[in-house]
Each structure stands twice: as C-alpha cells, then as structure tokens.
Structure 1
Amino acid sequence: MRAAAALATERVAPPGGAARNRVSTLRSQAPLMLRLTHPKGPEPWTAHDPSAARVCLTAGAAGPIGGDQLTLTVDVGAGSTLVLREVSASLLLPGPHGEQSALSTSVRVGAGATLVWLPEPVIAARGCDHRTDVSVELGPGARLVLREELLLGRHAEQPGAVTQQLHVRVEGRPLLNQHLAVGPGATGWDSAAVTGGRRALGSLVVVDPGWADRPPQPVLLGDTAAVLPLAGPAALVSAVAADALALRGCLDAGLALLTTPAEDRRPPDAS
C-alpha cells in the first residue's frame, strides 16, 4: 500500500476579532486518516492558547503491514498551536512477501509556533520488519513536545525488526539525531546497553526557548529513566520499562517536570 497524509495549521486574525488557530490542510489516505478532535487528556502548553488546533491520527486500515510505504507531512504555521494525537496504538505486522514497511514523517514548526505530538505506542508484532523516519525542523522561538513509545511484541511474543530514526533541528542547527534498531538482525538490542531485556522503551523530546538562560537539570526518574539536557533549549527523557503502563508513567513524570515553570519544579522521588 502507498499512502500519504498532510496536515497544516495557521494563525489567523480576522478584522475586529481575536486571533485563533485554524487547520488549513487536512488530507488523508488510508491507513493514515486525520480527524479534527477535542482535548484528549492533559495537554502541556495549551492553557495560554484556548483555540489550539487538535487533530487525531486514526487507522483507516490494519498495519502498517510489510511492504506498506506511508508518508505524513505536518506544517505548523508561524505562531499557531497544534496538538496531534492518535486514537489507538499501532500494530506493526509482517506482509505476505517479507518486505519492509516504512513510515516517513516530515514536520516543520514555524517561528513562535507550538507542536504537542503525543502518539500512542507502536507494537512490534512477531515477524514484522518496519522502519520509521521522523524529521523535525523548528523555527525561531518554536516549541515542541514529541513522545515515542515502542512495545516489543504482544503478550509473551518475540518482537519483529524495527528501526527508528529521529532528527530534530532548531533554526537549521542539529539538536538530536537518534537511531534505534531492535529485533532480529540488530546486534545486542536486548543487552544492558539498549533494553536490558525490558519490553517497553520510549523517549520524550521537549524544546522550549524559555530555557535559553535557565536550562533543565539532569534528573533520575527511577532506576530506568532519566531527564537528559540537550545542547540547546531542550531536554530528552529516555526510559525503558517492563510494560506499557510503567513506560507511560516514566514519560509522564518527565513531561510534567519539564513543562512546569522552573520556579515550581520539584524533582520526583528517584528511590
């Protein structure tokens, strides 16, 4: 299957009216179906912008399945705010001919814009072979929250092969280049240096220009998760856990810490 979806937002100020966010592009092809939605759970950084645009990505078909080639383009216009979520977890499945599936996502966040991207977990079913490439370009003063969660197989199932690549650039400068390969064919993926035998792993990238003069400090979030400052107005939460619930708890703790005003931050108990 070949499919592409595109999403764009803009900030508009009608004559005599208050400025608001508007979804200017919403184009879908199954299985990448984009739908306007309402708030779904807590949202960082939206209290200051009640008109934030909210879109959910929902599956219009099973998969990705081996051989599928999917493309998603997101453009958050200057000054606008977008909350992008998913309806449910994604299940990566093998195809009938042993081909690799792929999802390529290109994101541009304009000057002064905000993107809160909180997808649901990706589950690597046995026999799958999948590649995910995410490229994010942030303009001056842009803010970003980006969560990634990967579950290694369904219950009591060995995972398939998954490769994830994440590139984040701020005003044209590299901020983060992260590569992960797990499953058959990936050397040492279940060693102590990668997953340590745990079945859930994830990360959370937060970019906030407000940290230029007061960056976040490194913090342990228990035994298998930590907040790691990046060389820029940004931080990375990295975590592994026994299951999806524990993983989400680690990432939520990091998100709460990083999106709370600096003067109110209290490091969590790492005992």
Structure 2
Amino acid sequence: MGTGTDRRLDRGVTVTSTSGASRTEPPAPPGDTSRVSATARIEARPDGRGGTALPLLAGAGPLAPRRTRAPVPGEAHVTLVGAMSAPLGGDRLAVEVGVAPGARLRVTASGATLALPGAGSDPADYRIRLTVGQDATLHWLPEPLVSVCGSALRQTTCAELAPGARLLLREEQVLGRHGEPCGRLTTRLTVRRAGRPLLDQELDCGPGAPPGWDGPAVLAGHRAIGQLLLVQPEFESGPVQPQTLGEYAALTPLGGPAALVTAVAPDALTLRTILDEAASDLLNDRFEAVRS
C-alpha cells in the first residue's frame, strides 16, 4: 500500500483479531531493515442471525484490514488500509481471505497500491489467496496497482471456489505514474472451481518483459489494464454472449458459471468506468445470454 506512513522497523508490529487477542511480531533482523514480510488474514462466517461475522481480522506491517460499514444488509465489509509504504523491492506480502459457507464478504482498499523501488535489485512478491465456500459470496474490489518507474513486482492471485460459490473480482494495473515509464510488473490470476481450473492468465509488462508486451496485440500503447471476473451459478444455464464493449474491452464467457471482462484504457479513470459499467450490467442480467 503506497500511501501509508514511512517504515519504522526498529519495533515490533502488533496484530489484533476481532476476538480481542493480539500478538507482537518481532522486528526485522539486523541488516535486513529494507525488507518487510507480512501477512493479513480475514475470515468471514455466518453469525446465525442472517448476517456475517469476522472471527479473524489480522494485519501486519503495511497490511491493516479494518471492518467498515457494509453497503448491503447481511454482508461484512473489510477495507485494507496501507499502514506504511509497500510493496518495495524485496518485500514479501500476502493476503489470505476465507469466506465460510453461507457468508457474504466485500473487501475494498482505502487507496491505490504503489509498487516502489527498493534498496536492492530483488523484486517484491505479493500473494493473494481467496477461498470461497458453498453458497458464500466474495466481492474482491481493491484499488489499482500502480507500477512505479524502477520498481519490480510479481503479484499472484489464487481463488479456490466451492461449486456454489459466488465471486466478483476486479483487478486493475496502471503502468507508471503520470509522465513516467513503468516498472517491471508480472501479474497472474488463477481461479479453480470445485477443484478444477476455471481461469489461469498472466500479464508481464515493463523493462525486461518479453518483446511485444506494449505492441498492438497486447496493450497498444495503453497504460491501464483491468479484468473483471464474475462467477455465479446462474451462468451455467444461461452464459452470456461474447461481445466487444467499446473499442478496447471484451466480454468472454468462460467454461462453467463465469464471465470475464478484459479492458485496456489510457488512464485509470476510464478503465474503472468501463469495468463498473460491465459489473452493473452483469449483476443485473443486462447482457444477452447464449442461445442453446
């Protein structure tokens, strides 16, 4: 999270769950103060009264999950807040989210994540693992990831879904701040449903990436890239029609109950508008279904 405070690694980091328990993680070892290893964990379960409880809400280092007001009754809402600048080169960050059967969870972020250069040459590693149980719902809606000039980051997102799980996932990448070139950014999104692969895609951009990443077949000079994935059981009987959404976006039905929107845009605002409109249309069944 790139908008947090400066790093203070000479003291431990306190981690607190919603049950009230806390622990203090040790400070970084001597000679390794330029790197951070941190994991945030979120668990959502039905509260027995038609709502969703958060028995585990734990953060460390730059990852600070906070419970916030839910916009939908029965849903829990968690906002990831950046407690310090991250990820920097060499950092090892992870977010683990578990949604138990019947629970409903929405996860957002307080601001964009900036991938920043570190003191050394090692890339940063950011791993996100999402597990959604039967008849559970997860909306994973972070803010954009910005690849700052000189940075190097590999981000992997892995989602494991039960057969009756619902997932709305949005990912956005912005290549460089205004007026600057981007860093090296590699992102991979893997989704499995009922133990079988549903989606596995990777994007590699920036200095050192394979040739052609900025060419007409991939980004065509654009600097904002995004994908929106919706998984819901209703698509098994009525998948959406593949179609283009404007000049630089497309809707693709996936095998099984899923639809994927991919888009490129000149800037983050235009990209968000495209993905938000697509999400609204998908959730409200405004796309034509494939005729059997």
Please confirm whether the aligned pair reaches a TM-score higher than 0.5, indicating the same fold. Answer: yes
Aligned mates of 1:224, 1:140 — CA distance in 2: 32
Q: Please state whether the residue corresponding to 1:74 is helix, strand or coil.
A: strand
Selected match of 2:130 from 107, 110, 117 = 107
Instruction: Indicate if the aligned counterparts of 2:225 and 2:271 stay in contact, CA closer than 8 A.
Output: yes
Selected match of 1:7 from 29, 42, 48 = 42
- The residue identity in structure 2 corresponding to 1:104 is R
- The residue identity in structure 1 corresponding to 2:41 is A
Aligned mates of 2:197, 2:144 — CA distance in 1: 26
In structure 2, the residue matched to 1:21 is: 52
Q: Is 2:141 the partner of 1:141? A: no
Q: Quote how far apart the aligned CAs of 1:140 are.
A: 2.2
Selected match of 1:247 from 252, 271, 288 = 271
Q: Is 2:283 the partner of 1:259? A: yes
- The residue identity in structure 1 corresponding to 2:97 is V
In structure 2, the residue matched to 1:212 is: 236
Q: Please state whether the residue corresponding to 2:139 is helix, strand or coil.
A: strand
Q: Please state whether the residue corresponding to 1:191 is helix, strand or coil.
A: coil
Instruction: Indicate if the aligned counterparts of 2:89 and 2:120 stay in contact, CA closer than 8 A.
Output: yes
Q: Please state whether the residue corresponding to 1:245 is helix, strand or coil.
A: helix
Q: Quote how far apart the aligned CAs of 1:219 are.
A: 2.4
**Alpha-carbon displacement from aligned partner over 1:136-185 (angstroms, at most 9, x marks no partner):** 00012100000000001001100000000111011111000010100011
Selected match of 1:67 from 90, 97, 114 = 90
- The residue identity in structure 2 corresponding to 1:21 is T
- The residue identity in structure 2 corresponding to 1:194 is V
Q: Quote how far apart the aligned CAs of 1:12 are.
A: 2.6
Equivalences for residues 45-194 of structure 1 within 5 A:
46=72, 50-187=73-210, 188-194=212-218
Identity %: 43
Q: Please state whether the residue corresponding to 1:19 is helix, strand or coil.
A: coil
Aligned mates of 1:96, 1:157 — CA distance in 2: 20
In structure 1, the residue matched to 2:223 is: 199
Instruction: Indicate if the aligned counterparts of 2:174 and 2:224 stay in contact, CA closer than 8 A.
Output: yes
Instruction: Indicate if the aligned counterparts of 1:221 and 1:253 stay in contact, CA closer than 8 A.
Output: no
Aligned mates of 2:114, 2:272 — CA distance in 1: 17
Aligned mates of 2:40, 2:139 — CA distance in 1: 18
Aligned mates of 2:196, 2:82 — CA distance in 1: 34
Equivalences for residues 231-242 of structure 1 within 5 A:
231-242=255-266
Q: Please give the root-mean-square deviation of Cα atoms over the aligned residues, in Å.
A: 1.1
Aligned mates of 1:227, 1:24 — CA distance in 2: 37
Q: Please state whether the residue corresponding to 1:72 is helix, strand or coil.
A: strand
**Is the deviation greater in 215-224 or in 239-248?**
215-224
Q: Please state whether the residue corresponding to 2:278 is helix, strand or coil.
A: helix
Aligned mates of 1:169, 1:123 — CA distance in 2: 27
Instruction: Indicate if the aligned counterparts of 2:43 and 2:98 stay in contact, CA closer than 8 A.
Output: yes
In structure 1, the residue matched to 2:12 is: none
Q: Quote how far apart the aligned CAs of 1:19 are.
A: 2.5
Q: Please state whether the residue corresponding to 1:247 is helix, strand or coil.
A: helix
